[in-house]
Chain A
Amino acid sequence: NAGVMQNPRHLVRRRGQEARLRCSPMKGHSHVYWYRQLPEEGLKFMVYLQKENIIDESGMPKERFSAEFPKEGPSILRIQQVVRGDSAAYFCASSPGQGWHTQYFGPGTRLTVL
Protein backbone atom coordinates (compact mmCIF):
# COMPACT_ATOMS: atom_id res chain seq x y z
CA ASN A 1 0.00 0.00 0.00
CA ALA A 2 2.67 2.44 -1.09
CA GLY A 3 2.05 6.14 -0.87
CA VAL A 4 3.17 8.76 -3.34
CA MET A 5 6.75 8.10 -4.37
CA GLN A 6 9.17 10.78 -5.41
CA ASN A 7 12.75 10.45 -6.53
CA PRO A 8 15.33 11.51 -6.10
CA ARG A 9 14.88 12.82 -2.58
CA HIS A 10 17.80 15.17 -2.99
CA LEU A 11 19.18 16.56 -6.23
CA VAL A 12 22.15 18.83 -6.72
CA ARG A 13 22.67 20.61 -10.01
CA ARG A 14 25.00 23.32 -11.27
CA ARG A 15 23.61 26.38 -12.93
CA GLY A 16 22.64 25.65 -16.51
CA GLN A 17 22.06 21.94 -16.04
CA GLU A 18 18.75 20.15 -16.31
CA ALA A 19 16.78 18.73 -13.38
CA ARG A 20 14.30 15.87 -13.72
CA LEU A 21 12.02 15.09 -10.83
CA ARG A 22 9.88 11.96 -10.84
CA CYS A 23 6.61 11.20 -9.13
CA SER A 24 4.64 7.97 -8.95
CA PRO A 25 1.12 8.51 -7.62
CA MET A 26 -0.64 6.30 -5.14
CA LYS A 27 -2.18 3.16 -6.59
CA GLY A 28 -5.53 3.98 -8.09
CA HIS A 29 -4.86 7.69 -8.35
CA SER A 30 -4.88 9.25 -11.80
CA HIS A 31 -4.54 12.90 -10.81
CA VAL A 32 -1.13 14.40 -10.11
CA TYR A 33 -0.23 17.83 -8.81
CA TRP A 34 3.14 19.53 -8.44
CA TYR A 35 3.90 22.17 -5.83
CA ARG A 36 7.02 24.16 -5.01
CA GLN A 37 8.05 25.16 -1.52
CA LEU A 38 10.62 27.91 -1.28
CA PRO A 39 12.55 28.21 2.00
CA GLU A 40 10.40 29.47 4.86
CA GLU A 41 7.29 29.57 2.68
CA GLY A 42 4.18 27.55 2.09
CA LEU A 43 3.59 25.40 -0.93
CA LYS A 44 2.67 27.02 -4.23
CA PHE A 45 0.72 25.19 -6.89
CA MET A 46 2.51 24.64 -10.16
CA VAL A 47 0.63 22.20 -12.38
CA TYR A 48 -2.14 19.61 -12.42
CA LEU A 49 -2.03 16.63 -14.74
CA GLN A 50 -4.03 13.58 -15.59
CA LYS A 51 -2.69 10.74 -17.70
CA GLU A 52 -1.32 12.23 -20.94
CA ASN A 53 -2.99 15.59 -20.28
CA ILE A 54 -2.00 18.85 -18.65
CA ILE A 55 -5.18 20.15 -17.09
CA ASP A 56 -4.00 23.29 -15.32
CA GLU A 57 -0.53 24.79 -15.57
CA SER A 58 -1.42 28.22 -14.26
CA GLY A 59 1.29 28.08 -11.61
CA MET A 60 4.13 27.03 -13.88
CA PRO A 61 6.83 29.54 -14.75
CA LYS A 62 6.55 30.42 -18.41
CA GLU A 63 10.04 29.32 -19.32
CA ARG A 64 12.33 26.40 -18.55
CA PHE A 65 9.68 24.38 -16.65
CA SER A 66 7.63 21.57 -18.12
CA ALA A 67 5.66 18.61 -16.81
CA GLU A 68 4.27 15.43 -18.21
CA PHE A 69 2.33 12.40 -17.03
CA PRO A 70 2.64 9.72 -19.68
CA LYS A 71 0.33 6.79 -20.14
CA GLU A 72 2.95 4.54 -18.62
CA GLY A 73 5.42 5.53 -15.95
CA PRO A 74 5.77 8.35 -13.47
CA SER A 75 5.01 12.00 -13.83
CA ILE A 76 8.08 14.09 -14.62
CA LEU A 77 8.77 17.70 -13.70
CA ARG A 78 11.59 19.00 -15.85
CA ILE A 79 13.55 22.17 -15.21
CA GLN A 80 15.93 23.22 -17.95
CA GLN A 81 18.94 25.48 -17.45
CA VAL A 82 18.47 25.66 -13.70
CA VAL A 83 19.27 28.85 -11.80
CA ARG A 84 19.93 29.38 -8.11
CA GLY A 85 16.39 30.63 -7.61
CA ASP A 86 15.08 27.19 -8.56
CA SER A 87 16.48 25.78 -5.31
CA ALA A 88 13.45 24.58 -3.41
CA ALA A 89 11.53 21.53 -2.30
CA TYR A 90 9.25 20.17 -5.00
CA PHE A 91 6.30 18.15 -3.83
CA CYS A 92 4.09 15.90 -5.83
CA ALA A 93 0.58 15.00 -4.71
CA SER A 94 -2.00 12.61 -6.07
CA SER A 95 -5.70 12.12 -5.67
CA PRO A 96 -8.37 9.78 -6.98
CA GLY A 97 -10.29 12.72 -8.41
CA GLN A 98 -10.09 16.47 -8.65
CA GLY A 99 -11.48 19.24 -6.57
CA TRP A 100 -12.62 18.17 -3.17
CA HIS A 101 -10.58 15.03 -3.01
CA THR A 102 -7.78 15.02 -0.50
CA GLN A 103 -4.39 15.33 -2.08
CA TYR A 104 -1.79 12.97 -0.66
CA PHE A 105 1.74 14.22 -0.82
CA GLY A 106 5.01 12.52 -1.53
CA PRO A 107 8.16 13.13 0.54
CA GLY A 108 9.40 15.82 -1.83
CA THR A 109 12.57 16.37 -3.83
CA ARG A 110 14.99 18.91 -2.45
CA LEU A 111 16.71 20.62 -5.36
CA THR A 112 19.88 22.55 -4.70
CA VAL A 113 21.39 24.60 -7.50
CA LEU A 114 25.05 25.47 -7.01
Chain B
Amino acid sequence: AQKVTQAQTEISVVEKEDVTLDCVYETRDTTYYLFWYKQPPSGELVFLIRRNSFDEQNEISGRYSWNFQKSTSSFNFTITASQVVDSAVYFCALSEASTGNQFYFGTGTSLTVIP
Protein backbone atom coordinates (compact mmCIF):
# COMPACT_ATOMS: atom_id res chain seq x y z
CA ALA B 1 0.00 0.00 0.00
CA GLN B 2 1.18 3.47 -0.82
CA LYS B 3 2.21 5.25 2.35
CA VAL B 4 2.21 8.69 0.78
CA THR B 5 -0.27 9.72 -1.88
CA GLN B 6 -0.04 12.82 -3.97
CA ALA B 7 -3.12 12.58 -6.11
CA GLN B 8 -2.35 15.63 -8.22
CA THR B 9 0.09 14.60 -10.90
CA GLU B 10 0.29 17.95 -12.66
CA ILE B 11 -0.99 21.42 -11.84
CA SER B 12 -0.78 24.59 -13.91
CA VAL B 13 -1.53 28.01 -12.52
CA VAL B 14 -1.11 31.53 -13.75
CA GLU B 15 1.45 33.64 -11.97
CA LYS B 16 0.20 35.28 -8.77
CA GLU B 17 -2.49 32.68 -8.22
CA ASP B 18 -2.49 30.64 -5.03
CA VAL B 19 -2.06 26.88 -5.34
CA THR B 20 -2.39 24.01 -2.88
CA LEU B 21 -0.57 20.72 -3.26
CA ASP B 22 -2.21 17.81 -1.50
CA CYS B 23 -0.48 15.08 0.45
CA VAL B 24 -2.20 12.20 2.23
CA TYR B 25 -0.20 9.71 4.26
CA GLU B 26 -0.79 6.38 5.91
CA THR B 27 0.97 5.06 8.99
CA ARG B 28 0.26 3.06 12.11
CA ASP B 29 3.01 4.76 14.06
CA THR B 30 2.07 7.41 16.58
CA THR B 31 5.44 9.06 16.09
CA TYR B 32 6.29 10.05 12.57
CA TYR B 33 7.68 12.91 10.54
CA LEU B 34 6.48 14.56 7.38
CA PHE B 35 8.56 16.42 4.85
CA TRP B 36 8.21 18.44 1.68
CA TYR B 37 10.94 18.65 -0.93
CA LYS B 38 11.16 20.69 -4.10
CA GLN B 39 12.79 19.34 -7.26
CA PRO B 40 13.35 22.16 -9.77
CA PRO B 41 14.11 21.44 -13.43
CA SER B 42 17.82 21.25 -12.60
CA GLY B 43 17.04 18.02 -10.74
CA GLU B 44 18.34 18.47 -7.23
CA LEU B 45 16.10 17.96 -4.20
CA VAL B 46 15.65 20.94 -1.95
CA PHE B 47 14.40 20.45 1.60
CA LEU B 48 11.46 22.72 2.46
CA ILE B 49 9.98 21.63 5.76
CA ARG B 50 9.78 18.91 8.42
CA ARG B 51 6.89 18.39 10.84
CA ASN B 52 6.57 15.83 13.61
CA SER B 53 3.34 14.06 14.44
CA PHE B 54 2.94 15.82 17.78
CA ASP B 55 2.95 19.29 16.35
CA GLU B 56 -0.14 20.15 14.38
CA GLN B 57 0.49 23.85 14.26
CA ASN B 58 0.36 25.21 10.80
CA GLU B 59 3.51 26.83 9.56
CA ILE B 60 4.12 29.80 7.32
CA SER B 61 7.37 30.73 5.68
CA GLY B 62 7.08 33.66 3.34
CA ARG B 63 4.75 32.64 0.52
CA TYR B 64 4.76 29.02 1.66
CA SER B 65 2.41 27.54 4.23
CA TRP B 66 1.67 24.04 5.41
CA ASN B 67 -1.55 22.64 6.86
CA PHE B 68 -1.06 19.48 8.91
CA GLN B 69 -4.27 17.68 9.93
CA LYS B 70 -3.93 14.35 11.71
CA SER B 71 -7.68 13.77 11.59
CA THR B 72 -7.52 13.47 7.81
CA SER B 73 -3.88 12.27 7.60
CA SER B 74 -3.04 15.17 5.37
CA PHE B 75 -0.11 17.53 5.10
CA ASN B 76 -0.97 20.03 2.40
CA PHE B 77 1.30 22.71 1.01
CA THR B 78 0.09 26.09 -0.22
CA ILE B 79 2.03 28.57 -2.29
CA THR B 80 0.58 32.06 -2.19
CA ALA B 81 1.02 34.46 -5.10
CA SER B 82 2.87 31.87 -7.16
CA GLN B 83 5.89 32.83 -9.23
CA VAL B 84 7.52 31.28 -12.25
CA VAL B 85 10.44 30.16 -10.07
CA ASP B 86 8.03 27.97 -8.14
CA SER B 87 7.74 25.70 -11.18
CA ALA B 88 9.07 22.35 -10.03
CA VAL B 89 8.08 18.90 -8.90
CA TYR B 90 7.14 18.82 -5.24
CA PHE B 91 7.46 15.67 -3.17
CA CYS B 92 5.86 14.85 0.14
CA ALA B 93 7.66 12.26 2.29
CA LEU B 94 7.03 10.29 5.47
CA SER B 95 9.48 8.91 8.02
CA GLU B 96 8.20 6.53 10.70
CA ALA B 97 9.76 6.08 14.11
CA SER B 98 9.39 2.30 13.84
CA THR B 99 11.26 2.00 10.54
CA GLY B 100 13.25 5.12 10.99
CA ASN B 101 15.78 4.79 8.27
CA GLN B 102 13.94 5.30 5.08
CA PHE B 103 11.74 8.02 3.76
CA TYR B 104 8.61 7.08 1.88
CA PHE B 105 8.04 9.48 -0.97
CA GLY B 106 4.90 10.30 -2.86
CA THR B 107 5.01 10.27 -6.64
CA GLY B 108 5.25 14.04 -6.76
CA THR B 109 3.17 16.91 -8.12
CA SER B 110 4.53 18.78 -11.09
CA LEU B 111 3.69 22.46 -10.75
CA THR B 112 3.91 24.80 -13.71
CA VAL B 113 3.48 28.50 -13.10
CA ILE B 114 2.61 30.31 -16.30
CA PRO B 115 3.80 33.93 -16.61
State the A residues within 8 Å of B (CB): 33, 35, 40-45, 48, 55-56, 58-59, 89, 91, 93, 98-100, 102-108, 110
* Known contacts A41-B107, A42-B108; A100/B33 CB under 8 A: yes
Contact of A48 among B45, B50, B102 (CB under 8 A): B102
State the B residues within 8 Å of A (CB): 4, 6, 33, 35, 37, 42-45, 47, 50, 52, 91, 93, 95, 97, 100-108
A-B contact pairs, 26 of them (CB 8 A): A33-B103, A35-B103, A41-B107, A41-B108, A42-B6, A42-B91, A42-B107, A43-B91, A43-B103, A43-B105, A44-B105, A45-B103, A45-B104, A56-B102, A58-B102, A59-B102, A89-B43, A91-B45, A98-B100, A99-B101, A100-B33, A100-B100, A102-B50, A103-B47, A104-B47, A107-B44
Nearest CB of chain A from residue B112's CB, rounded to whole Å: 15
B42: chain A residues at CB < 8 Å are 107
B44: chain A residues at CB < 8 Å are 105-108
A43: chain B residues at CB < 8 Å are 45, 91, 93, 103, 105
User: Would A48 and B43 count as touching, CB distance under 8 A?
Assistant: no
